Amino acid sequence: MPFACPYCSHSINVKSAKPGKYKPKCPRCSQVILLTVPEGDAAPIAQKLPEAKPEPPKPKAAPPADDVTQMTAEFDIPKKTEDDDATQVIKSLQGPAKPPADNEDATQITSEFENPPAAERTMAAPTRPAKTQVGRRAQRGDDDFAVSPPADVPETIGGYRVISELGRGGMGAVYLAQQISLDRPVALKVMNPSWGSDPAFVARFTREAYAAAQLVHHNIVQIYDFGEDHKLHYFSMEYVDGKSLADLVKKKGKLDPEEAIGYTLQAARGLKFAHDRGMIHRDIKPDNLMLNSQGVVKVADLGLVKTPGLQEPPATSAEPKKERSKIAESATTAVTRVGIAMGTPAYMSPEQARDATQVDHRADIYSLGCTLYVLLTGKPPFEGRTVMELFTKHATQPIVPPDTIVKRVPKELSTIIQKMVAKKPEDRYADMGAVAKALEEWLGVKGGDAGGEIVTEEHVSQLESAVQRFNTVPLAGLRGILKISIFGGSILLAVLFLLLSLWKLGLASLLLSVETMTAYFLVSAFLRPDALTVKVREFLMESRWKERIQAAVALFLILAVLFVAGIFWHWLGFTLVAVGLAFGLHFGIDRMVESSRIPAIEEAEELFKKLRLRGIDEEALRQFACKYGGNQWEEFYETMFGFDEKLLARDWWVRGQKGQARQKYAAWREPMIRWLDRKLSARRAERERAALQQLEAKRLEAEGVSRGEARAKAEHTAGVLVQHAAELRAEAKAPAPEGEPLRRPRPIAAIILEEPAQDDAPRKSAGLGTLVSRFVNLVFGPTLRFLLGAVLVAGALFWIFQNELYVDAQKIQGLGDLKRVALAQHKVDPNADTYIDARPLNVAGITLSFFDSYSPLIAGFLLILSSLRSSLVTAVLMPLVAMFMVFGPKLGVPSVGPVSASHLCLAVGSLVGVAALAIFRERHR
């Protein structure tokens, strides 16, 4: 019969008492309590005595997040055996925990860079407890954050500009940083250099972060990247612009049951997604549940995983015991010395307190139940002066039902919480899916509202109204009209100049529309980024030096073509006009459209927040927005949820045959975005492979493996890990075939943490195919094609410049006239196919006879364009096409009627080259 002390809230358990009034003394604060035990099953009522003294100051107990973490981590907690009982566990836990002295090692018992105790080195105790504020901006006067860039870290780390410190723990610090390539805020975790010097620890921690990075879910904080810079190991993750549920409780004290369940349900769905893929959090608490500005709850710090699938199976006589990898072993035994009882004691399950290496997903169910308890009551289920006291209470004492503390909490909800925090794992819900189902049923939701029980006609009307206001703001339709007008106006201007025989101005004005759109694109990339401009910015910012040199050469060649054509200064003048038009479009139209759409966006966001609190699943919410968004839904949907989510919603609409085809928004961007995605994914995979290979090699060398063998094994391991990660991402994106049962997700952590077998090599073509592919890549690779194309273009430009063809338009009026001039002036063979009134290119006294026409110029540009393609067919075909265009007339290609051999080779080669570039885009793997 538990009750809480009315003075200090200490939980007291009375074994048996008859109905009546009693005056027991609280064992913590020694105050006398007026206890009324009613008849029946009603809960006892604890009150202060009228003559009681004022409530003394509350002793420092273990709060939900941080204060309890300043304890030593040398917990000697025995594993439970079959004949253990709760009393034996309590005896092993009893005794106060000694706070660390200033010069003693201290371990932060949180998931924020868990600090290994008892290592062969010592380190100073952290200056303040670790914080897991992934999504809170630093503010002046806030003691928890630094408001200026820290002095002990570089200004930039691995492509991230450090802005301020968000929190610091025993193993590292978390900073608010700006990712330079994407111009977005991120939370940057930087490992303490003392731990970064341990190769085994770094390799294990990196693999766990890499495994967590494969989890992409609405309710999980996304891990983006990892690497090493300035001898610092770092991990970047999604920055949640909001606050934690702990901050919310501190502000409100208690949450309404519907609000608390709505937030907890979102966390349960995110944890179910992780559990289904073999990953366990082990440190669920209000501080690790972030609430963003859209009302979405995201589970943070899902990087220190525990993989039940890696439990070592018992060996049989028929099957020899398999040797496990050091990484997998370290992940399942003592958590690589990170602490037997990793987690936060106020939210930790009894079995996790005994041995964190043996817990499964039900430990997260217990912690989530404690978290829900805090949201409803404003305090954790148990409090204590020491970690051992908390462990003891979690192991033995029943919780005080929330409905006895807060009257507005229904008893049915208390029953759900009590089952979540049952002492024995088998007495809790079987999995997080069952927890989500129980919470949905309490809210009156069925299956995440797939059937539409939450969404009403009022909600549909509100959405339709918001979409209509979004699409019908003033000037919204004018943007497209102005763009078409600029394009059509440049064409008309070009025709006018050509009719006036001002061909240079005509050619320059033809480029006006392209220049205007290019300038508008660049302005938007920095001032109003969208899906395409963000990808282009990332592609340019993350490009390698070789690619930047190629881009500079290509730009120089384009400018050279403009110069030899005699229209460079005309082009420059029209470029200035184009830049002015681009800025006018942005500041005169786009900014006004954006500001006019803000009320509609806010109306939709408020609607979505209400639906999330009522328990609607995020996927169902987005399907609702897609279904009722109307014919012009795409721009609104992309603004609310992003470009990638829009494509998924469109695919859902089409596959579900929900009606007629609907209007697409800016579909011309999609081929370019897909191409950029492939390029960026290849870069990312290469970068990840190199980083993993380096870390694995260091770990193996530290274990005594020779350098050569370590490098070979590390290369193999890194290749397999990156391949597995790519396969996992592809499986996550692929829609399930209709009519087939859902496939059980593969255990991500087991795949990433297990040491790859030697026969588990990255999938490559075997035998002759591999040799041919390598030969083609060596001989016809994109770099070589670019260089050959640049040489041809440069040679053709020098030939034009040498013969002064750029100053006399009459020399290029017609190929027939030029041939007659050549026959008259140079007395060439009438049967020859020379048609240009020009001499072949001469460089330092050496005559390059194949530079005698415009064919090398066109062939060179085709080769340069082909360097942007990775198709094997393009790699082989384009050099052959270029050779045909340049050398065809000299190798005996005949004329066809009035069409000369040079004309024929130029036309056929151009046609085949353009077709190859359009059809064969990427190499199929």
C-alpha dihedral sign at 19, 21, 24, 28: positive
pLDDT, averaged in runs of 10, over the chain (925 residues): 75 73 80 78 72 45 38 36 38 38 34 33 33 37 44 85 85 89 90 84 85 89 90 91 92 93 96 91 93 93 53 38 44 39 81 85 96 95 90 93 93 95 95 94 73 80 94 80 77 80 74 79 78 86 80 80 74 83 84 90 94 90 91 93 92 74 86 89 90 90 89 89 83 62 62 61 49 62 82 82 60 47 49 55 75 84 81 81 87 81 85 84 53
Side-chain-side CA neighbours of 642 within 13 Å: the count stands at: 6
Closest CA to 535 of 524, 551, 548: 524
Torsion of CA 447, 448, 452, 456, to 10 degrees: 140
Q: State the Cα angle at 512 between 508 and 513, rounded to 5°.
A: 140
Q: Write the CB contacts of 209 (distance below 8 Å, at least 6 apart in sequence).
A: 223, 226, 235, 303
- CA pair distance 527, 93, nearest whole angstrom: 59
Q: Residue 799: what residue type?
A: W
pLDDT for 250: 93
User: Residue with structure tokens 């500005």?
Assistant: 293
C-alpha dihedral sign at 100, 102, 103, 107: positive
Closest CA to 90 of 397, 381, 344, 345: 397
- Note whether 124 and 164 are within 8 A (CB): no
Instruction: Report all structural domains of the chain as residue ranges with CATH numbers, in order of start.
Output: 2-48 (no CATH), 156-241 (3.30.200.20), 243-313+324-447 (1.10.510.10), 457-613 (no CATH), 669-764 (no CATH), 772-919 (no CATH)
Closest CA to 671 of 511, 868, 909: 868
- First-to-last CA distance in the chain? 66
Q: Calculate the alpha carbon distances from 463 to 172, 539, 616, 647 in Å.
A: 45, 36, 15, 20
pLDDT for 106: 33
Q: With H, G, I as helix, E, B as strand and everything else as coil, classify residue 40.
A: coil
- Note whether 125 and 105 are within 8 A (CB): yes
Closest CA to 794 of 844, 853, 854, 857: 857
pLDDT for 738: 54
pLDDT for 392: 92
Q: Write the CB contacts of 477 (distance below 8 Å, at least 6 apart in sequence).
A: none
- Note whether 676 and 536 are within 8 A (CB): yes
- CA pair distance 673, 670, nearest whole angstrom: 5
What backbone torsions phi and psi does residue 393 show, to the nearest 5 degrees?
-65, -40
Q: Residue 787: what residue type?
A: L
Q: How many CB atoms lie within 10 A of CB 595?
A: 10
Burial 815-854 (b: 16+ CB within 10 A, else e): beebbebbbeeeeeeeeebbbbbbebbeeeeeeeebbbbb
One-letter-per-residue 3-state SS of 491-559: HHHHHHHHHCCCHHHHHHHHCHHHHHHHHHHHHHHHHCCCHHHHHHHHHHHCCCHHHHHHHHHHHHHHH
Q: Residue 838: what residue type?
A: A
Torsion of CA 97, 100, 101, 107, to 10 degrees: 180
pLDDT for 762: 55
- CA pair distance 334, 75, nearest whole angstrom: 11
- CA pair distance 733, 275, nearest whole angstrom: 18
- Note whether 805 and 818 are within 8 A (CB): no
Q: With H, G, I as helix, E, B as strand and everything else as coil, classify residue 745.
A: coil
- CA pair distance 286, 255, nearest whole angstrom: 13
- CA pair distance 202, 692, nearest whole angstrom: 10
User: Residue with structure tokens 């009627």?
Assistant: 897
Tokens of 684: 């990312």
DSSP state of 356: G
- Note whether 194 and 207 are within 8 A (CB): no
Q: What is the CA radius of gyration of the chain?
A: 35
User: Residue with structure tokens 């470009």?
Assistant: 643
Which secondary-structure segment (H or E) carries 157?
strand 156-157
- Note whether 274 and 299 are within 8 A (CB): yes
